[in-house]
Amino acid sequence: MAKMKDAEIQAMIQDLPLPKNILKTMQADAVSVGVTEKEMQEIIDRVMVGYKLSQIEACDAAGVVAAQSIGEPGTQMTMRTFHYAGVAEINVTLGLPRLIEIVDARKIPSTPTMTIYLKNDSGLVDEDGKADYAFDRDKAQSVAWDIEATKIDHIASVTTDLAQMKIVINVNEKAMNKRHMVFMEIAEKFKEKIPDAMVEVSEENFQIDLTPKDQRYRDLLQLTKKINDITLKGIEDIKRVVLRKGSDTEEYVLYTEGSALKDIISIPGVDMTRTTTNNVSEIFSVFGIEAARNSIITEATNTLREQGLNVDIRHIMLVADLMTSDGEVKQIGRHGISGEKASVFARAAFEVTVNHLLDAGMRGNVDELQGVTENVIVGQPIKMGTGDIRLIARTIDSDNPNLVKSVEKKTVRTRSQKNAADKAELAGSVQVSKDDLISVETADEVDDDEEWDDNVSMDIEETVTEVVEEEPKKRRGRPPKAKAEDEE
Amino acid sequence: MMSKRIQQIPKRISAIKFGLLSPKEIRNMSATNVITADTYDEDGFPIEMGLMDTRLGVIDPGLKCKTCHSKAGECPGHFGHIELVVPVIHVGFNKTIRKLLRSVCGNCSRLLLNETQKEDYLAQLNAVKGIGHMPDDLINEVYKEAAKVKRCPYCDAEQNDIKFEKPTEYLENGERLTPTEIRDRFENIPDEDIRVIGMDPENARPEWMVLTVLPVPPVTVRPSITLESGQRSEDDLTHKLVDIIRINQRFQENRDAGAPQLIIEDLWELLQYHVTTFFDNSVSGIPPARHRSGRPLKTLSQRLKGKEGRFRGSLSGKRVNFSARTVISPDPDLSINEVGVPLPIALILTIPEHVTERNVDFLKEHIRRGPANYPGANYVIRSDGGRIKITDINQEDLCEKLEYGWIVERHLRDGDVVLFNRQPSLHKMSIMAHSVKVLDGKTFRMNPAVCPPYNADFDGDEMNMHVLQTEEARAEAKILLQVQENILSPRFGGPIVGGIHDHISGMFLLTRKDNPVTGRINKDDALDLLRKTDIRELPAPAGVDENGEEYWTGKQIFSQILPEGLNISFSSNVGTKDMEEDLKNDAYVVIEDGELIAGTIDETAMGAFKAQILDTIIKEYGTTRGAQFVDDVTKLAIRAVMRTGLSFGIADEDIPEEAKIQIDMVLTTAEDEVQKLIQAYKDEELEPLPGRTLDETIEMRIMQELGRARDKSGKIADAHMGLENPAAMMARSGARGSILNITQMAACVGQQAVRGARINRGYRERTLPHFERGDLGADAHGFVKSSYKSGLNPTEYFFHSIGGREGLVDTAVRTSQSGYLQRRLVSALQDLEVQPDYTVRDTRGVIVQFLYGEDGIDPTKSDFAKPEAIHRIFRNVTGKEV
């Protein structure tokens, strides 16, 4: 039989409701193996069955499972700050403290650090000066000097002359040239930054003398401190830069202590498409919320992986998505997600109990008892997992039989096709025993009637009609009329 | 039948509304006005209109509540009230009152914003509430905006600065605002203005934050205890209420007598103090009210707050019946789905069984045996709900009377589904369903393969068991919670149940190529190995030995417990990931059609967290077969390890003399190297590492050098320990311990560290007086040259203790930190649920993910998302390698 062409394979699989990575693998495999159309059909069928089986079930408490999957390995993590993999010179917070930091959505992490990749537009890897920044040590080093904050004690010896009440700075020419700095510029910087001191510059000895305006000992000391704080070159927040060859390439990579993403991007030679920082909030402010979400995922994954802990990325993604779902990075905790819950009880049971209760009273809040904690508190079954599936019956409204039908469509929610069928059967049997109940619509009739919201929904919109006289309040898809009553 | 069922459905609370109590409402719901500060009279009877008035509910047995006429225990209690002579501030609202005073006109009481602003804010507020967000920020903005206004837009009155002094003083232009004045202002705020500041005028008017009437909590909330001496000891709340009533009375008397303003103000302040501490006894700015003993009183706020408070302690933490707790111990002969329950527990815990046509005889037998003879029954419940205890006397009687529809609470029997739990319950596998196996003894028994999910060991651990009481619960437990359904962890999609310790040793010894004991197994031995499993037939023998006797290999025996048609190959724990090399060393496992062709079974094959074979079996044959495999593995492994024998003694740490010499040499050279480094450092010849000081550099270099030395010595020791050495065998198979442990025992303990650095604390410039000042040498900073076997010298011992202590502290700190992290994570994420359309939403219906995990795949079954799964399908269909 004839092997299929790439385009034919493409056409066969492109509309399948499968995740992209699976489709990609299928395409690649099909091309490399070479399949006939019959085989391909067989493969597609098997993949679809496999996918169905491995899909998450509706009503799964994905949140709790994610929380536990991240929290449980926390007990096995170390507390200590260790060296970064590969770069021994830079200390980075790792382990449990780092994980807490990420989840806390701190503005500044305890050890901000950046991994700066350099441009390689020419694509050359040779050593005789033709290569681009990424492969030329000298060029890379000069970028490093541009970035690292150079203070005076990096390039000069500073002595305080008490007798003459002045500070003498002797610039080390070698150190200065190494950092591509010019003496006069340094001197100018001092004049500019310390306007209230006398600056004497002696260009030939590379010497700068500073005298405080008032000839007081205290002023002299303050001045000493001040000059040590001045950034002569580079970016203020970047305290140190280490130049390293990448782990598996010959490429030079800069690792920094301190982080200033916004400033780094504009430095020539920096490849901003690959450069990152471990400061999530900085990524948020520079690149926006989606980037922040990705950053949370990578940071958390790396932290866990570094500890040798295996956590499925879906759990971390859920946490990251929850933290960022409102368009800003919110903390997991009192000042973020937990503090903004809809339920008064859930908030009160977490932290700052009394204040939440007082506020609720003042605002006249209503707790709808939809979540987990609230229902535990009032002693009711939790609407999640098996507790989320209910059989609901409705008596027919004899005056207006049409009303029932419309209501039914909205109350419909089921677990899966299989369960839906079971339920329909069950509902059917109940309904026979009661004459005043309406008949049950079968799944097929309502099939494509109602879309959830989406292009993402796959196929499970099966419908069961439900039977009981109990008040059939449903979380979502509650009939609008009932809602109006609540809110009055 | 139907009607009966519906009757059983309890009422559902659909929502709970919060609000403030208005004075009117407080009086309406009050059973009595409380005017006397006394509680009981001389006869010990509650005083009328006192704090223990029987209209407020009863706690003493024998008395009846005058409000609801029920007995103690049945009466829920009823509120009373105290008419306060003057209004006082409710501390809880002090900040809101401050904000309100600042944003409301002192003259006409209108919110200091113009109409358009008000409308605008109201619209924003409704919008925010509509999408279910917290309105706090917006409301604060309203307050802020209004407070900025210096002149009332309505009556043109100039606004004065309001100063607030914690906790309940408000000053306007330096003059104290009395609660009466504040209340007057608030009363005049129009309803529409109240809405703008996020309050609900129907349920919470601002003036209700200033109390004129104080609700008195029911007696049942503050029961008094009778001490052994017959003396009554009142609850803290009652004490506080007594104070309030006393001062209230005194205030009244003084005012009626026309006391000077100064005294009145003092009394007012005192009343305010008592009411404040009645609500919250930990307000900053005032001393907490104390008992005579000096213990601070526990008032309303304190009752609600914190871990042991009402919310976290009582409301979220439910207590249950039908549970048991005892020590656990291992029993590899049980299935992983079973739990061994001691007989004394089975006699007390019961299962309610409905009497039907089918089980009536069965249940009658139980009743006849009564509560003392196992398996019997403890109670019978009639269809009207009446509960009858089964005794020796009424046994026969009850059997005869027994009707369909009654319930018999029979003893726990084999096969009943129970929940089994070990704290801390860090993940869902900490509570799993087991089926009961009633056994002698006094401990719970479990298969050691389920230790990893519970994180249990048998050094005295206790576990809890819960007996399910309804059919629904049992069905759910069996389908969702049973151990075999939880073998795969949702954390990483791999097996979390699996062999540990001796299981791995056993399998390793059994399936190893050249084990002298299990290499050739005769028929009797082979059958004996498989005795505890269900396998009774042996395959064709592997060969015939010199005596003409048939023999089998360990690999063959192991193959018997594998499912037919299983194909898998992987590099084992001993393996190097280099297939060719591993095949030579019997370290590459090949299973073809359920037959172990090559390789040794070790941790990678069947250990918890790794278990390649188990993983494949579950994914291809289902959970039941997986559970069967674990059961068989544990049973076979224990018999195998018993047959070979496995012991570990101090002699097993011995290494040959030549190895000792080698190790000594390595360590001496390392010390020399260190000395050289120190010399270079002192001569200032040492080149600092980029970005490090010289001191840091020398420390790092020394650490590196010594670390290398330890690793080298460990390798030497390891090289002299073959697989016949139990420690080496266990470490390499992954059963227990590591090469590092062997190194420390046999060769060199290595550098002791505090905070990741060498030990540097102690005396001035030295760690111990045994060393010279400024000595940077290895032994002066915690390098332990000795091995555990050879013993540590005194300084080494001391450093080792320092390092050991750090480890202990670290663990202690970590547990509390990670516990809090877990609590926060769960609290934030618990309401997220996957919807039928595969979106993830919270309780408000807000979408957090449009498709769970971006591909809708369950992490437990996440293997499917990996390319290998697709490759496999291609291979199976086309028969070609991908």
Q: ipTM for the complex?
A: 0.89
**Which segments of B562-645 does DSSP mark as H helices, in order?**
579-584, 603-606, 612-621, 623-644
Say if residue A28 is in the same domain as residue A93. Answer: no
Contact B88, B82 (CB under 8 A): no
Kindly determine whether residue A96 and residue B817, on different chains, have CB atoms separated by under 8 Å: yes
Say if residue A269 is in the same domain as residue A301. Answer: no
Amino acid at site A256: T
Q: CB under 8 Å to A129, separation ≥6 — which residues? A: A136, A138
Q: What is the CATH number of the domain that holds A203?
A: 3.30.1360
Closest residue to A354, CB basis, from B305, B427, B864: B305
Say if residue A486 is in the same domain as residue A436. Answer: yes
In chain B, which stretches have pLDDT less than 50?
Answer: 1-6
Q: Which residues of B touch A60 (CB under 8 A)?
A: 833-834, 852, 858
Domain boundary among A195, A229, A263: A229
Say if residue A298 is in the same domain as residue A191. Answer: no
Say if residue A478 is in the same domain as residue A419. Answer: yes
Pairing mode of beta strands B431-439, B338-342: parallel
* Amino acid A421: pLDDT: 40
Closest residue to B491, CB basis, from A22, A72, A415: A72
User: Nearest to residue A212, comparing CAs of A229, A201, A200?
Assistant: A200
Looking at the domain assignment, is residue A165 inside a domain?
yes
Helix (H), strand (E) at residue A314: helix A313-324
Check pLDDT > 90 for residue A212.
no
Residue pairs spanning A and B at CB distance below 8 A: 383
Q: What distance in Å separates residue A83's CA from the closest CA in chain B?
A: 10
* Amino acid A68: pLDDT: 93
Check pLDDT > 70 for residue A484.
no
Q: CB under 8 Å to B28, separation ≥6 — which residues? A: none
> Cα B771 to chain center, whole Å?
48
Check pLDDT > 70 for residue A452.
no
Say if residue A415 is in the same domain as residue A315. Answer: no
* Amino acid A146: pLDDT: 83
Looking at the domain assignment, is residue A400 inside a domain?
no
Looking at the domain assignment, is residue A94 inside a domain?
yes
pLDDT in tens, B813-861: 888 888 899 999 999 999 999 998 899 998 888 899 999 988 888 998 8
In this structure, how many other beta carbons lie within 10 angstroms of the beta carbon of residue A192? 10
Domains in chain A, number: 5
Q: What distance in Å separates residue B169's CA from the closest CA in chain A?
A: 19
* Amino acid A80: pLDDT: 60
Contact B112, B103 (CB under 8 A): yes
Say if residue A432 is in the same domain as residue A468. Answer: yes
Q: What is the CATH number of the domain that holds A298?
A: 1.10.1790.20
B309 touches chain A (CB under 8 A): yes
Say if residue A251 is in the same domain as residue A141. Answer: yes
pLDDT in tens, B281-336: 888 888 888 888 888 889 898 898 888 888 888 888 889 999 999 999 999 899 99
Residues 122-141 on A with a CB inside 8 Å of B are none
* Amino acid A186: pLDDT: 78
Say if residue A189 is in the same domain as residue A301. Answer: no
* Amino acid A410: pLDDT: 34
* Amino acid A124: pLDDT: 62
Read off the pLDDT band of A402 (50, 70, 90). low
* Amino acid A256: pLDDT: 87
Mean model confidence pLDDT for chain B: 87
Check pLDDT > 60 for residue A455.
no
Q: Which residues of B touch A366 (CB under 8 A)?
A: 15-18
Quote the domain boundaries for residue A444. Answer: 410-488
Q: Can you tell me the distance from the alpha carbon of B685 to that of B672, in angstroms, rounded to the nearest whole number?
A: 17
Q: Can you tell me the distance from the alpha carbon of B845 to that of B369, in angstroms, rounded to the nearest whole number?
A: 55
Say if residue A127 is in the same domain as residue A138. Answer: yes
Check pLDDT > 70 for residue A229.
yes
Q: What distance in Å separates residue B866's CA from the closest CA in chain A?
A: 8
Supply angle C-alpha A417, B475, A458, rounded to 5.
20
Domain boundary among A256, A277, A298: A277
Read off the pLDDT band of A434 (50, 70, 90). very low
Q: Can you tell me the distance from the alpha carbon of B553 to that of B542, in angstroms, rounded to the nearest whole number?
A: 7
Domain boundary among A248, A277, A306: A277
* Amino acid B358: pLDDT: 92
Say if residue A37 is in the same domain as residue A84. Answer: no
Looking at the domain assignment, is residue A455 inside a domain?
yes
Check pLDDT > 70 for residue A475.
no
Looking at the domain assignment, is residue A189 inside a domain?
yes
Q: Can you tell me the distance from the alpha carbon of A42 to that of A25, in angstroms, rounded to the nearest whole number?
A: 16
Check pLDDT > 90 for residue A69.
yes
Closest residue to B873, CB basis, from A50, A66, A343: A50
Looking at the domain assignment, is residue A141 inside a domain?
yes
Least confident of A365-369, A421-425, B240-244, B797-801: A421-425
B687 touches chain A (CB under 8 A): no
The pTM of this model reads 0.85
Q: Can you tell me the distance from the alpha carbon of B590 to that of B8, in angstroms, rounded to the nearest whole number?
A: 59
Say if residue A121 is in the same domain as residue A257. Answer: yes
Looking at the domain assignment, is residue A384 inside a domain?
no
Residues 103-162 on B with a CB inside 8 Å of A are 132-135
Residue that wins the pLDDT comparison between B338 and A427 = B338
Residues 562-621 on B with a CB inside 8 Å of A are none
Read off the pLDDT band of A432 (50, 70, 90). very low
Q: Which domains does chain B have, with CATH numbers?
A: 91-211 (no CATH), 323-492 (2.40.40.20), 502-644 (1.10.274.100), 650-809 (1.10.132.30), 833-878 (no CATH)
Q: Can you tell me the distance from the alpha carbon of B658 to that of A443, in angstroms, rounded to the nearest whole number?
A: 80
Would you say B266 is a known binding-site residue? no
DSSP state for residue A55 in the 8-state scheme: B
Q: Can you tell me the distance from the alpha carbon of B758 to that of B743, in angstroms, rounded to the nearest whole number?
A: 20
Q: Which residues of A touch B428 (CB under 8 A)?
A: 64-65, 68
Looking at the domain assignment, is residue A362 inside a domain?
no
